[in-house]
Chain A
């Protein structure tokens, strides 16, 4: 089973709201990722967690705050977003952790609309 789950599937929020995206995998994967994807473009990396520690922040604005409560869960906390942050947010996980053979499995994504 290579399933990564994400909730919610869709999210509409105002610019003053606070919301969270959730991601879960039960495959024992050691690395988890957040990506942002705009229409017709490839995914853009935002954050990488390796062994539950943040290893990469791709200069993401502080209105996006990641959290890894345990090895199976990854959250993305959203606050004071802008309309241009509207996108598909993807979570991914990898069994090997960084530095090894790379095979990333993606979740279905959360479609975010910021009004």
Chain B
């Protein structure tokens, strides 16, 4: 099935650095969701966005719903070791029964 283009594919950063990742689509969405997944666990919902231009924070995480409705961004400030994992974006179009997932961004923190 269709997947969203998510970048970067992987990131290697030092603790304390800020992180930015994004998701782009060729079609518009009404909802953008951001998830974090630890190995062997299910994805955990971090932030849900429902309005173009919306900027929402959850602690050190901030996500934005792009004005064009075709993209979304996730920023993590002052990264800590527990931020390690895979981050997935997911888009949803009203009336559709499915989410479209991004390809994932793997975040690794270098000691």
Q: Which residues of A contact B (CB under 8 A)?
A: 2, 4, 6, 40-45, 48, 50, 55-56, 58, 88, 90, 92, 98-109, 111
Contact = CB atoms under 8 A, between A and B. Distances in A.
B33 A104 contact: yes
A43 B92 contact: no
B41 A45 contact: no
Given A44-B1, A106-B43, A108-B42, A101 B31 contact: yes
A90 B98 contact: no
Contacts of B106: 40
Main secondary structure of the interface of B (DSSP, over half): loop
B34 to A, nearest CB: 11
Interface of B: 1, 3, 30-31, 33, 35, 40-45, 48, 50, 86, 88, 90, 92, 94-99, 101-104, 106
Contacts of A102: 31, 33, 92, 99
Top 10 closest A-B pairs, CB basis? Answer: A42-B101, A106-B42, A102-B92, A98-B97, A109-B42, A108-B42, A106-B43, A102-B31, A103-B48, A90-B42
Contacts of A45: 1, 98-99
A16 B97 CA distance: 33
A106 B33 contact: no
A49 to B, nearest CB: 10
Given A42-B101, A42-B104, A106 B94 contact: no
